[in-house]
Structures are given as structure tokens and as C-alpha cells.
């Protein structure tokens, strides 16, 4: 079956004053895939996904989701369409419980589609990331790794069509990273996943396709095997 371009960008540019942070000629995220965006620090990765989710408005270019032009659509409307970004739907509310943090996006999804109860949705999201037994604990008292997992749970509570994760394994212990890889594989059975990730073993274990950014431009794109063997990528990022 041919790949279906679910989230696409053409001629996407973002300028900050005299700095061109993103200059991506073409990008296609296919429905049902796990895609990783990698690159050195300052490559424009977070700015790029911020354009896709609506946190930033592009200086030039077009973004489409499921064939619909969303270039000028604000972030909250993109969430309603099914694009969830961990940094868009958080930061966490440290003075609230884990349950209450997840209940907020769960309630928004119920308002949009009316399915399920608030408790069912919130607890299911916490359970998927392994935090259900901490539901009533205060979010601000959790380890950084658990706070990152809480952010993922908040994204899952929105029942997104596309889940964008920015450095999701940062702060996780090795055992938590193993569980995270299993979680994303499970999530990807029903949701397209786009993640920015510096942990290359995680990228190579999860990603079906990898986009490499360098100085705001796409340096290379392809399978993990192709990216690992790419001389330009080795020189710019992998240190080969």
C-alpha cells in the first residue's frame, strides 16, 4: 500500500531577525510511521516541529494536514484536528496531581468527540506510561524522568492522530527508556509519531525514517541504515 502523506510542508522557512533558523524545501510525514528528526545542537529541530504544530508562524511556506492547509491555523486548532505536541500541551502543573494534569487534556478531547468518561481517559493515559499508581501524587514532586512521562501521558490523553515528542527520553533511566521504546511501538499502531531525539540507540530502535537537519536544512533523509551509512551525516552529526 502506498504511503499517505499525513503532515506535509513545502518551502518552509522561519527567520528570526537576520537568522534563518529553518529552510526546509519539502517534508512529508506519512500516516502510521515513526519518524525521528535528528541533528546537532542548533540545527533547527525544535523550531521546525514548532512550525508544524503551530507554536511558531512560518516566514514562508505551506503546511498541510490530511490535505488541509493549516499554515495560518493556531496551535489550539491544530490540537483539535489531532496534532499533539508535548511542549504545546505542557508544561506540567507542578502543584496539581498527575491525574489532574492528564485530566485537563482528556477533558478537552471529550469535549471534541464525546467518547468515554474523564476518569477512564485520564487513567488509561497514565497507565500507558506506567504512572497510574502515582495518579494522586503531586506532579512537582516527581523525578524529571517521571515528569517527562507525564507529558507523554498528557499528549496521549488527547487521542492524537499525530504525536510530536521533543526529547522524550531525556532524564529517563535505562529501564524507563526500554519501557518507553515499547510504549511508542504500541502507540504507533494507531498514531503517527514524530520525535526529536538525541539518544541514537532509541532513534535506531524506533524510527522507520529519519530526517537529519543541519543549520535549518534537510541534510539527509532515509532509513536508519541509510542514515548511519551517509558520509555527510557522519561528518555533521554522528562523528564518523
Can you tell me which residue has the cell 539518544?
Answer: 199
- Domain 1-82+160-172+191-240 fold: Rossmann fold (3.40.50)
Quickly list H helices, the chain: 45-53, 75-81, 86-89, 98-113, 118-128, 144-156, 174-187, 200-206, 224-229, 231-233
Confidence (pLDDT) at 1? 43
Angle at which helices 118-128 and 174-187 pack, to 10 degrees?
130
Confidence (pLDDT) at 238? 64
**Domain map of the chain by residue range?**
1-82+160-172+191-240, 89-159
For 184, half-sphere exposure in the C-beta direction (CA atoms, 13 angstrom radius) is 28
Confidence (pLDDT) at 88? 43
> Which contiguous run of DSSP H or E holds residue 56?
none
Cell of 51: 512550525
pTM: 0.91
Confidence (pLDDT) at 87? 64
Order of all β-strands in the sheet with 34-38: 83-85, 162-166, 192-196, 34-38, 209-214, 217-222
Three-state SS across 165-209? EECCCCCCCHHHHHHHHHHHHHHCCCCEEEEECCCHHHHHHHCCE
Confidence (pLDDT) at 68? 97
Contact 4, 30 (CB under 8 A): yes
Q: How far is CA 96 from the centre of its chain?
A: 24
Q: pLDDT tens-digit profile of 12-58? A: 999 999 999 999 999 999 999 999 999 998 899 999 999 999 999 99
Confidence (pLDDT) at 239? 60
Q: Which parts of the chain sit beneath pLDDT 70? A: 1-3, 87-90, 238-240
Q: pLDDT tens-digit profile of 55-80? A: 999 999 999 999 999 999 999 999 99
User: How far, in Å, CA of 138 to CA of 80, rounded?
Assistant: 28
Amino acid at each position: 500500500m502506498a504511503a499517505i502523506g499525513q503532515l506535509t510542508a513545502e518551502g518552509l522557512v522561519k527567520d528570526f531577525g537576520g537568522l534563518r533558523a529553518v529552510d526546509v524545501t519539502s517534508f512529508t510525514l506519512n500516516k502510521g510511521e515513526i519518524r525521528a528528526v535528528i541533528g546537532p545542537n542548533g540545527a533547527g529541530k525544535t523550531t521546525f516541529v514548532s512550525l508544524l504544530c503551530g507554536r511558531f508562524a512560518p516566514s514562508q511556506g505551506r503546511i498541510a494536514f490530511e490535505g488541509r492547509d493549516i499554515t495560518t491555523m493556531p496551535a489550539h486548532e491544530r490540537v483539535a484536528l489531532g496534532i499533539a505536541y508535548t511542549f504545546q500541551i505542557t508544561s506540567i502543573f507542578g502543584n496539581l496531581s498527575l491525574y489532574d494534569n492528564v485530566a485537563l487534556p482528556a477533558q478537552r478531547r471529550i469535549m471534541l468527540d464525546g467518547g468515554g468518561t474523564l476518569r477512564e481517559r485520564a487513567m488509561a493515559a497514565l497507565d500507558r506510561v506506567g504512572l497510574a499508581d502515582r495518579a494522586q501524587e503531586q506532579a512537582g514532586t516527581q523525578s524529571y524522568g517521571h515528569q517527562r512521562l507525564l507529558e507523554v501521558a498528557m499528549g496521549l490523553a488527547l487521542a492524537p492522530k499525530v504525536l510530536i515528542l521533543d526529547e522524550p527520553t531525556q532524564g529517563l533511566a535505562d529501564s524507563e527508556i526500554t519501557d518507553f521504546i515499547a510504549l511508542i511501538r504500541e502507540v504507533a499502531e494507531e498514531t503517527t509519531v514524530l520525535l526529536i531525539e538525541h539518544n541514537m540507540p532509541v532513534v535506531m530502535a524506533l524510527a522507520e525514517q529519519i530526517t537529519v537537519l543541519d543549520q535549518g536544512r534537510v541534510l539527509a533523509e532515509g532509513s536508519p541504515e541509510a542514515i548511519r551509512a551517509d558520509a555527510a551525516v557522519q561528518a555533521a552529526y554522528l562523528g564518523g
